């Protein structure tokens, strides 16, 4: 054996020291994790329902009696499909299924039971508690696509999740509700597997503990360990509207399925506050992006949007009205106030290079008490859900003009897709607009003036303006593009799906196929599909970020699949989709509907 030099001995000792330090740090990290979760091992006897509450509710408000209202038919009555149309539709449906299965297969191979697969490096990622967000989020997608063996495998893994242990110090109650609770509820509705309902109850009982505050509003960024050790928490004074106002569908449906009114009672308190304070905000009819949940004050802040951080609170108004079969009139009333204000102030006609267009766009608004509302003419990909929302509400509430508003909003998003070199809409951008109902023919001078104003140039004839437009890669119509990325988001195809089911107009199907081809071609990686970092560069120069959110499979591909499915598969007359595209079977439609939910 060769002798070891002094230098080699030092290297070996250093290596042993580093190895020991690594294992010690791993033990500390493990201890820290258990400190966060409050448990040192999985206790099979542990139940969230048994956790002692600091502020137990003084009363439980029961679900209102259901079945009190007959609704107009939501879906168009579709005629007999020709052989050629059926062949084309099924080929497109198969293409979507292939993309889903490749994404799912590599998630299963490289990141099984993790929250996400990183689509470039192929690593597991845990950013939603480490409970398998992509797994639970896609239980219903697997069922709908007829992948029953994969569904059974995923169910077995999902049933083993222990929600009292988390990879995160703080839990996002909203994301946990829409992805996990919504996923279990929908999978139960479709499959009838009672084990999934039991898992939803387990998670629902955990999430109820987040409402254990003085005023019974939820802690949206919730510490599990504090609740397990009876350390009080309070709702935050800067909560997001979407995270407070978008828990209603999931908790209500859990109450419907179990008969346990605790779940409905928790969100009914939020509904009461939203109802009472809606006319009292700085823009009556809308709630601001930020809510003071600590003081239960939903009127204080002055910024309003239909986009990110607010979107699903509005989306849930007509959907709750439908899920409850009209038994709580407050939801229809809140939608009426919201839509009246939105149509008066927020929904505008964009100045874009299309003749005689009907496109619309929702913009953001800030209110100054000493001046008129400030219109921030910002468009968001997240706002693209609004076309489907208006169309659905138009059917449910017999408001044909709202179906037309839905058409315009969906057209606005399609324009934003078509305007870029990749054929994909950017995350955030601004445009110049005209008030709703006024002519807004393309005016290039107005557009150039808008671009110049954004960067402090002298006007549309400023000699530096063309250089700026070229350097910033601004297609005609865009005055700025604040975020050039595309995160595989579903909102545009969601509205295309709803518009097609509501109107029967095939142009929405053709538009969806165009989006599918562009997205899958541009965002593809060696393993799956990922975030497009810049949609404004030529296709050959696109770079892909290492992010594939669970909603890529759970929402975007599910909506693509359904728009190319037979219209009675997950009928909008029988199911209500939560904001994560999980279809909940309406109690009024339960008989016979589940038989049609499998392709």
At 454-491, the pLDDT tens digits run 999 999 999 999 999 999 999 999 999 999 999 999 99
Catalytic residue among 164, 212, 243, 311: 311
Please, which residues bridge with residue 376 across strands?
364
Q: Give the model's pLDDT for residue 4.
A: 44
Phi, psi of 367 (to 5 degrees): -110, 125
What whole-number distance in Å separates Cα of residue 106 and Cα of residue 122?
8
pLDDT at residue 273 tops 80:
yes
Is 311 known to be catalytic?
Answer: yes
Q: Indicate the annotated binding residues.
A: 579
Is 491 known to be catalytic?
Answer: yes
Q: Give the model's pLDDT for residue 597.
A: 60
**Nearest of 583, 568, 587, 586 to residue 190 by alpha carbon:** 583
Is 427 known to be catalytic?
Answer: yes
Residue range 568-593: average pLDDT?
A: 92
Please, which residues bridge with residue 358 across strands?
none
Q: Give the model's pLDDT for residue 439.
A: 86
Q: At what angle do helices 261-277 and 194-209 cross, to 10 degrees?
A: 50
Which is more confident, 408 or 372?
408
Please, which residues bridge with residue 361 across strands?
348
What whole-number distance in Å separates Cα of residue 485 and Cα of residue 500?
27
Is 364 known to be catalytic?
Answer: no
The dihedral built from the CA positions of residue 239, 211, 174 and 325, taken in this order, carries a sign that is negative
pLDDT tens, 3-24?
444 444 444 444 433 444 333 4
Q: Indicate the annotated binding residues for Ca(2+).
A: 579
pLDDT at residue 508 tops 60:
yes
User: Residue 103 belongs to what H/E stretch?
Assistant: helix 83-111
Q: Give the model's pLDDT for residue 145.
A: 98
Q: Give the model's pLDDT for residue 259.
A: 97
**Nearest of 220, 391, 310 to residue 579 by alpha carbon:** 310
Contacts of 370 (CB under 8 A, 6+ apart): none
Residue range 167-177: average pLDDT?
A: 96
What whole-number distance in Å separates Cα of residue 589 and Cα of residue 291?
35
For the chain, what is the mean pLDDT? 92
Tokens of 34: 């258990």
Catalytic residue among 140, 427, 555, 574: 427
Catalytic residue among 150, 260, 292, 491: 491
Residue range 31-40: average pLDDT?
A: 39
Q: Give the model's pLDDT for residue 598.
A: 54
Q: Give the model's pLDDT for residue 229.
A: 83
Q: Give the model's pLDDT for residue 67.
A: 64
- Classify each residue of 284-312 as buried b or exposed e, where b means 16 or more C-beta atoms within 10 Å of its C-beta: ebbbbbbbbbbebebbebbbbbbbbbbbb
Q: Give the model's pLDDT for residue 41.
A: 42
């Amino acid at each position: 054996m060769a002798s070891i030099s002094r230098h080699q001995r030092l290297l070996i000792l250093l290596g042993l020291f580093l190895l020991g330090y690594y294992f010690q740090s791993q033990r500390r990290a493990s201890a820290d994790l258990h400190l966060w979760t409050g448990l040192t091992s999985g206790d099979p006897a542990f139940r969230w329902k048994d956790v002692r509450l600091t502020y137990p509710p003084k009363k439980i408000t029961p679900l209102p009696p259901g079945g009190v209202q007959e609704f107009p038919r939501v879906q168009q009555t579709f005629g007999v499909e020709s052989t050629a149309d059926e062949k084309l539709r099924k080929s497109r449906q198969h293409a979507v299924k292939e993309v889903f299965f490749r994404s799912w297969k590599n998630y299963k191979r490289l990141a099984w039971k993790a929250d996400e697969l990183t689509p470039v490096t192929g690593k597991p990622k845990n950013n939603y508690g480490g409970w398998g967000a992509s797994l639970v989020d896609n239980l219903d997608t697997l069922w709908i696509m007829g992948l029953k063996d994969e569904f059974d495998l995923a169910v077995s893994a999902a049933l083993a999740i222990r929600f009292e242990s988390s990879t995160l110090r703080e839990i996002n109650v909203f994301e946990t509700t829409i992805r996990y609770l919504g996923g279990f509820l929908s999978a139960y509705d479709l499959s009838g597997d009672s084990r999934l309902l039991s898992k939803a109850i387990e998670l629902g009982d955990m999430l109820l503990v987040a409402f254990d505050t003085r005023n019974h509003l939820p802690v949206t960024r919730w510490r599990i360990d504090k609740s397990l050790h009876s350390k009080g928490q309070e709702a935050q004074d800067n909560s997001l509207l979407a995270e407070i106002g978008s828990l209603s569908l999931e908790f209500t449906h859990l109450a419907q399925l179990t008969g346990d009114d605790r779940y409905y009672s928790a969100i009914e308190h939020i509904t009461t506050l939203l109802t009472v304070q809606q006319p009292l905000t700085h823009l009556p009819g809308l709630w601001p992006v930020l809510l003071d949940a600590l003081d239960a004050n939903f009127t204080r802040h002055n910024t309003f949007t239909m986009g990110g951080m607010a979107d699903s609170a509005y989306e849930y108004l007509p959907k709750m009205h439908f899920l409850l079969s009209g038994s709580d009139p407050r939801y229809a009333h809140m939608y009426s106030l919201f839509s009246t204000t939105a149509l008066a102030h927020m929904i505008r006609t964009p100045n874009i290079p299309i003749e005689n267009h009907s496109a619309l766009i929702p913009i953001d608004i800030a209110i100054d008490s000493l001046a008129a509302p400030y219109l921030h003419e910002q468009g968001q990909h997240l706002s693209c859900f609004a076309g489907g929302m208006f169309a659905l509400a138009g059917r449910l509430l017999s408001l044909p003009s709202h179906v037309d508003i839905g058409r315009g909003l969906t057209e606005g998003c399609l324009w934003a897709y078509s305007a870029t070199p990749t054929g994909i809409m950017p995350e955030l951008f601004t445009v110049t607009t005209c008030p709703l109902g006024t002519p807004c023919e393309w005016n290039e001078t107005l557009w150039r003036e808008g671009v110049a104003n954004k960067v402090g140039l002298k006007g549309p004839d400023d000699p530096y303006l063309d250089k700026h437009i070229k350097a910033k890669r601004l297609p005609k119509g865009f005055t700025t593009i604040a975020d050039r990325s595309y995160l595989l988001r579903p909102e545009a195809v969601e509205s295309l799906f709803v518009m097609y089911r509501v109107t029967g107009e095939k142009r929405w199907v053709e538009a969806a196929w165009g989006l599918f081809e562009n997205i899958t071609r541009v965002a593809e990686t060696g393993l799956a599909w990922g975030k497009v970092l810049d949609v404004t560069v030529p296709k050959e120069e696109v770079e892909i970020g290492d992010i594939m959110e669970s909603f890529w499979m759970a929402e975007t591909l599910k909506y693509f699949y359904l728009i190319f499915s037979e219209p009675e598969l997950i009928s909008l007359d029988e199911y209500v989709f939560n904001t994560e595209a999980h279809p909940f079977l309406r109690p009024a439609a339960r008989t016979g509907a589940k038989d049609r939910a499998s392709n």
